[in-house]
Amino acid sequence: MKVPLTWDREPLFEKLGNMKFSEMESMANEIRNYIVEIVSSGNGHLAPNLGTVELTLALYKVFPPDKNTVIWDTGHQSYTHKILTGRARSMGTIRKFGGISGYPSIHESEYDKFGVGHAATSIAAALGIEKAHSTKDMNGEVIAIIGDGAMTSGLAFEALNQVKPLSSKIKIVLNDNGMSISPSVGQLSNVILNRLRTAKTYRILDSKLRDFLRKNDLDWVSEKVKSSLKKLFLFDNFFEDFGIKYIGPIDGHDVKMLVRAFESLKEIEGPVVVHVLTQKGKGLSYAEKNPTKFHSVSMIDSKSGISLEIKKGVYSYSEIFGKVLSIIANEDNRIVGITAAMEDGTGLKYFHAKHPDKFFDLGITEELCTTFAAGAAAQGLKPVIAIYSTFLQRAFDQVIHDVALQDLDVIFAIDRAGLVGEDGPTHHGVFDIAYMNLIPNMKLVAPSSISELSSMMKSVIGRIKGPLAIRYPKSSEFMDIMDVLSAPPLDNPFSWEKILDGKDGTILAVGSMVKIAVEASKKLESMGIHVGVYNCRSVKPLDMKTLNVIAMSPRIWTLEEGTVMGGFGSSVLLKAPTLRSKTEVIGIEDSFVEHGTRNELLEFAGLSAQKVTERIISNLKAEVREG
């Protein structure tokens, strides 16, 4: 994976100051081709990064990142930023174990001013950074680049609401491609931004009004009077109602126009929004036609976009979740499906296709989704919220206050639970057992296979009273799909299942760790050590009847793909304190796990079958020495 010869020094942004527009356009093509090569041969975010190439080049020509603070919202649009700031030759390692992150990280580069991964943090962070700069007499602009999808989040609105009261001068670049991962939803994108996208007359009349005031020596007119005059002749502008100057819309792929727009920011003292229109997947026909599919990819043919990893008969937990939910809703008209801008990722596209009137995508608003579900449940509906584990963290208060406190019938489908691989620490779902475990009235279950997910859903959705969460990993399995979809409900989703007997000890495994436990048990058996395995599908409530039987085992290991702090193992020790002397808790220790393949990370975290085997042998040897 060779870096273009013209990139003869790093950081590359230092070359931009003297570049002609034609040279910048050539560099844009080189960067775009390089990103396609990198992502297609490994994995990463393709379409969003192809859409921000010219934007980044123009921005860094006018506002070099060594003299200004630039914050990239969400971060999956920042590959050009990484290439320009000294990491061009490291891009082949992106998202690989030990390589650079797929997102900006303050631990990785001096030019990554704020770590991101979750949407809508940029404006809030920019306000805080700007305030810190003012106390230190630091110069340079503070610039936040936020996507229109992220603008639907409450945090973005909260930050916009404080720009004027804080006397902020931040510059906001709104990267508007009409998308988050799926197409953006809601009034902001569908009406307000769409009106601005098409309003050339707004820019013309706004400019003429300012010229009129200046030519007639009316610059002294107060901002309130100016605002009133504009509202008299022009339509309301969403951003200017917040006290933020608006420029745009600008063609996000016209380098010359972008540079001129950004240069105009230097003449404006106060806060400004530059509205930039970009095309997700720009320059790559198949990504332009289907930006949702090519938002994030793994191993594709760079020319055609065809996946090189397609395996017939392989389905993900997310796909089966969506299909099974559709089947359940066929029989129960109380079921509604809710997601936070993740229709495709969570598998709810299957539900949406079959039950469009029962599907609700509320944008990047996890808190809203949760309280919306609570309201629906309070009136007798049976809402199912599908949200990635890492994103559900943002709705923690609503889960407690609006759902659990009222003991409402809300199902949380916690997708991407556990280690999710190359997305890294911002996206790992390792805390959900702990944060759901501590909430009164909450029930938490974890299937050990995709088939068990199907059975578990049929046994709890619409049948169990009160809030309940189902956690499942980012994983796929080979299966007969008809067998899985027709799998019967579990007799008791809160009972544990014995998988293997073992006279030397017992592993209590949760969800994805059941297969690991079985594999470890077989490795131990080949060494003459017999360790039993239980599928502890119910994390809360614990199956105390079965646990009391297991208590007779000479040695116990709890095994979970989640943090050991407050997790399943902690619950076992809390509920059965007599087991403390002979129980070892195995899970993710009190630290953040970096990025890599899921298998690499399981090995790193001590959760692979080999590592679990070694841990058990070590424990047994220590026990012999102590004896």
What residues are labeled active site? 280, 366, 394
Average pLDDT over residues 143-155: 88
For residues 256 and 378, membership in a common domain is answered with no
**Residue 440 — very low, low, confident or very high, per pLDDT cuts 50/70/90?**
very high
For residues 166 and 269, membership in a common domain is answered with yes
For residues 268 and 335, membership in a common domain is answered with no
- pLDDT of the residue at 295: 82
- pLDDT of the residue at 307: 81
From CA 400, how far away is CA 378, in angstroms rounded?
15
Average pLDDT over residues 362-387: 97
Structural domain includes residue 307 = no
Q: What is the CATH number of the domain that holds 603?
A: 3.40.50.920
For residues 150 and 218, membership in a common domain is answered with no
Between strands 531-535 and 497-500, the pairing is: antiparallel
Q: Do residues 152 and 365 make contact, with C-beta atoms less than 8 angstroms apart?
A: yes
For residues 461 and 378, membership in a common domain is answered with yes
- pLDDT of the residue at 204: 54
Alpha carbon of 492 to those of 360, 455, 458, 483, 537: distances in Å? 30, 10, 11, 20, 10
**Residue 212 — very low, low, confident or very high, per pLDDT cuts 50/70/90?**
low
* Interval 581-591: pLDDT, tens: 999 999 999 99
Structural domain includes residue 592 = yes
* Interval 71-118: pLDDT, tens: 999 888 999 999 999 999 999 999 999 999 999 999 999 999 999 989
- Please give the structure tokens belonging to residue 417: 């639970």
CA neighbor of 459 nearest in space, from 368, 575, 549, 538: 538
Q: H or E stretch including 624?
A: helix 609-626
- pLDDT of the residue at 63: 97
Range in 23-27, 168-172, 220-224 the model is least confident about: 220-224
- Please give the structure tokens belonging to residue 508: 């209590």
Q: What is the CATH number of the domain that holds 353?
A: 3.40.50.970
Average pLDDT over residues 562-573: 97
What is the count of structural domains for the chain?
4
Structural domain includes residue 308 = no
- Please give the structure tokens belonging to residue 151: 């603008």
**Residue 234 — very low, low, confident or very high, per pLDDT cuts 50/70/90?**
very low
- Helix orientation angle between 21-40 and 53-62, rounded to the nearest 10 degrees: 130
Structural domain includes residue 57 = yes
Structural domain includes residue 440 = yes
- Which residues span the domain enclosing 146? 12-197+239-298
For residues 218 and 260, membership in a common domain is answered with no
- pLDDT of the residue at 232: 45
Assess whether pLDDT exceeds 90 at residue 274: yes
Any idea which residue has 């770590």 for tokens?
A: 115
From CA 79, how far away is CA 593, in angstroms rounded?
22
* Interval 456-513: pLDDT, tens: 999 999 999 999 999 999 999 999 999 999 999 999 999 999 999 999 999 999 999 9
For residues 174 and 290, membership in a common domain is answered with yes
Structural domain includes residue 622 = yes
- pLDDT of the residue at 148: 65
**Residue 228 — very low, low, confident or very high, per pLDDT cuts 50/70/90?**
low
- pLDDT of the residue at 13: 95
Assess whether pLDDT exceeds 80 at residue 42: yes
* % residues pLDDT > 70 (the chain): 89
Assess whether pLDDT exceeds 80 at residue 221: no
For residues 123 and 225, membership in a common domain is answered with no
- pLDDT of the residue at 222: 46
Assess whether pLDDT exceeds 90 at residue 41: no
Among the three residues 433, 462, 485, which one is the final residue of a domain in this structure? 485
Average pLDDT over residues 288-301: 83
